[in-house]
Chains A and B, each alone.
Chain A
Amino acid sequence: MSAKPKFAMYWAASCGGCEIAVLNIHEKILDVDANFDVVFWPVAMDAKYKDVEAMEDGSILLTLWNGGIRNDENEHIAHLLRKKSKILVAFGSCACEGCIPGLANFVPVKELVDTAFTTISTDNPQNLRPQTTYAMPEGEIHIPTLYPQLRTLDQVVDVDYYMPGCPPESHQIGAVIDLVVQVLQGKAQLPPKGAVIGAGNSTVCDECKRKRNVKTIKEFGRIQLTHADPELCLLEQGIPCNGVATRSGCNARCPTAGAQCIGCYGPAEGVIDYGARLISAFASVIDADKPEEIERILDGLVDPAGQFYRFNLAGSLLRAGKSAWKG
């Protein structure tokens, strides 16, 4: 084998979109191949956990980890790859802050499994449930055990860098690969540990080209039910757009295309709790001073917690509904 630095990518509780985003960098993927020896990447190549276990500690230079920690297998591999990697990157929203899989933290695991195995869209006449161990004639077999709630990667192991986005934009991934290649050639330096890479330092609003005036909201509306002005700030039109608290880096793709920002790039620089920042912003521009009137306007926000924590529930200060952590 060559002496090229080693590269790994792993998925835990995620959808696979991050892997596609990596392939979406087009010919830059050849730079990855030219500069790295891909040693472990379950989606793209055949490698076993025991191969990773056999590697020397710290022998993988760069590991991109996408997905949250949902079960004991995820956690085991997180510890394993942490040990084997020099640089561990929480890649994508799931690893950084929980993302959509983290929304399951609103409910206990039992409810989660019941929904998956008993609701109308499921054909399960024997009412079966997955068992974590099962005795076969050949011996006992195991599948991973679900945890009471999903955790972000840095709630489980030490993380070197964060790369937000659902998924991270391909041009940002390309830029990060360029940077790593330059570091390898001694032409650039790595950012300080804990930095957010492949994203901006500002908010989506900062990159958004829509016109902004003074915001006063008399009514919240859902974008599919309104004819939004294509030039005007969406929040000003009462459409709950999360751009105000969301990190820049995507070139304000959604608002530019006519959809509200849903916050996939996570909290902007300096924001401790993403949802709290949005509560602050949204509530401030409601044009009402009477409690009843405020309540009426707030009724337009159908699912406030879902609106404010769609990507951030597992990483939020309050993190989860009480029932979730009890299992």
Chain B
Amino acid sequence: MTEKFEPVIIGFTCNWCSYRAADMAGTARMKYAPNIRLIRLMCSGRLDPTFVFKAFEGGADAVMISGCHPGDCHYVEQNYKALRRFHLMKRVLTQMGIEPGRLKLVWASAAEGAILTDTINKYVEEVRLLGPLNWPAKKIGTVSTPVMEVAA
């Protein structure tokens, strides 16, 4: 493989801190790798693990969850829920055959644009080393059987 592998990372950001941090990075013209696609949620506590699994199922190589620092959540304590879900999700993903390094949790306040861009850039390189996830979305069944389409 001569071509450089470009991972696709889905990043879930919260409206009050980490999305603002990304926004600030943009305003200040700080650059971060285009491999990450940010999705804004109102809060990291809104992150249903289904979103993460759906991202993997849909071909993402990694998922980054980000929210306000512990104690700073706009909704008081919902980022702690995100933290607990993150720990439990990691365990389940490992059992399902997805390396724990493909899920990352980052705290970033609205002032931390530089920290966020730095974290994203480092994470893209980490995932690049892990390689493509190659999730078997359309590869099950034997050679002789017709390839199955995944239900949406």
Give chain A's interface residues, CB within 8 Å of chain B: 72, 75, 106, 145, 147-149, 151, 154-156, 272-273, 275-277, 279-280, 282-284, 286, 288-289, 291, 294-295, 298, 301, 303-306, 308, 316-327
Interface size class of B (residues with CB under 8 A): 35 or more
In the bound complex, do residue B145 and residue A155 qualify as a contact, i.e. CB atoms below 8 Å apart?
no
Kindly supply a per-residue 1/0 record for chain B positions 29-55, scoring 1 wherever the CB is within 8 Å of any chain A CB and 0 otherwise.
Answer: 000000000000000000011101110
Query: Is B48's CB under 8 angstroms from A280's CB?
Result: yes
A-B contact count (CB 8 A): 119
B123 contacts chain A at the CB level, 8 A cutoff: no
Q: Which single member of B85, B87, B97, B141 contacts A322 (CB below 8 Å)? A: B97
- B69-80: CB near A (< 8 Å → 1, else 0) gives 010000001001
Chain B positions within 8 Å of A147 at CB level: 140-142, 145
Q: By DSSP majority rule, is chain A's interface helix, strand, loop, or mixed?
A: helix
Alpha-carbon separation in the docked complex, A306 to B95 (Å): 9
How far is it, in angstroms, between the C-alpha of A283 and the C-alpha of B141 when the chains are bound? Answer: 34
Which B residues are within 8 Å of any A CB, using their own CB? 48-50, 52-54, 56-57, 70, 77, 80-81, 83-85, 87-89, 91-93, 95-98, 134-136, 139-142, 144-145, 148, 151
* Distance (whole angstroms) from the CB of B20 to the closest CB of chain A: 23
A279 and B92 contact, Cβ closer than 8 Å, known pairs A145-B142, A272-B50, A289-B70:
yes
Taking a contact as CB atoms under 8 Å apart, the answer to whether B87 and A295 are in contact is: yes
- Known contacts A288-B84, A321-B95, then 9 further A-B pairs from the complex at CB < 8 Å, ordered by chain A residue: A149-B140, A156-B148, A272-B54, A276-B53, A279-B89, A284-B81, A298-B91, A305-B95, A317-B56
How far is A94 from B106 in the complex, measured between Cα atoms in Å? 39
Of chain B, the residue at the smallest CB distance from A71 is: B142
List the B side residues contacting A303 at CB < 8 Å: 95
B84 touches A283 (CB 8 A): yes
Nearest CB on A from B85, distance (A): 4
Q: What CA separation (Å) do A286 and B53 show in the bound complex?
A: 21
User: Nearest CB to that of B77 among chain A residues?
Assistant: A289
**Which listed residue, A276, A291, A298, A318, touches B98 by the CB 8 Å rule?**
A318
For A274, give the chain B residue with the smallest CB separation.
B50
Which residue of B has the minimal Cβ distance to A149? B140
Instruction: Check if B140 sits within 8 Å of A286, measured CB to CB.
Output: no
Instruction: Point out which of A75, A272, A283, A323 has the most chain B C-beta atoms below 10 A from its C-beta.
Output: A283
Given contacts A275-B92, A304-B88, contact A291 B83 (CB under 8 A): yes
**Which residues on the B side are within 8 Å of A308 (C-beta)?**
92
Q: Flag if B145 contacts A279 (CB, 8 Å).
A: no
- Interchain nearest-CB distance for B15 vs A (Å): 19
Measured CA separation A279–B98 after assembly (Å): 16
Most buried by A among B57, B97, B151: B97
With a CB–CB cut-off of 8 A, which chain B residues contact A298? 87-88, 91
Which residue of chain A has the shortest Cβ distance to B55 in the bound complex? A317
Q: By the criterion CB–CB under 8 Å, are B141 and A317 in contact? A: no
Q: CB < 8 Å: which of B48, B57, B85, B145 contacts A75? A: B145
Contacts of B134 in A (CB 8 A): 322
Residues of B close to A286: CB separation below 8 A: 84
Q: Is the CB of A155 within 8 A of B151?
A: yes
A–B pairs, 21, beta carbons within 8 Å: A72-B142, A151-B148, A155-B151, A273-B50, A277-B49, A279-B89, A280-B50, A283-B85, A289-B77, A289-B83, A304-B92, A305-B95, A317-B53, A317-B54, A317-B56, A319-B136, A320-B97, A321-B97, A322-B97, A322-B134, A325-B140
| CB–CB B136/A322 < 8 A | yes
User: Taking the nearest CB of chain A, how far is it from the CB of B57, in angstroms?
Assistant: 5
Is the CB–CB distance between A148 and B140 below 8 Å?
A: yes
Within the complex, the shortest CB–CB distance from A296 to chain B, in Å, comes to 10
Q: Give B69 Cβ to nearest chain A Cβ, in Å.
A: 12
What residue in chain A is nearest B56 (Cβ atoms)? A318
Q: Are B81 and A283 neighbours in the complex by a CB distance under 8 Å?
A: yes
The CA of A147 and the CA of B142, in the complex, are separated in Å by: 6
User: What separation, in Å, do the CA atoms of A282 and B134 have in the docked complex?
Assistant: 29
With A and B bound together, what is the CA distance between A321 and B53 in angstroms? 13
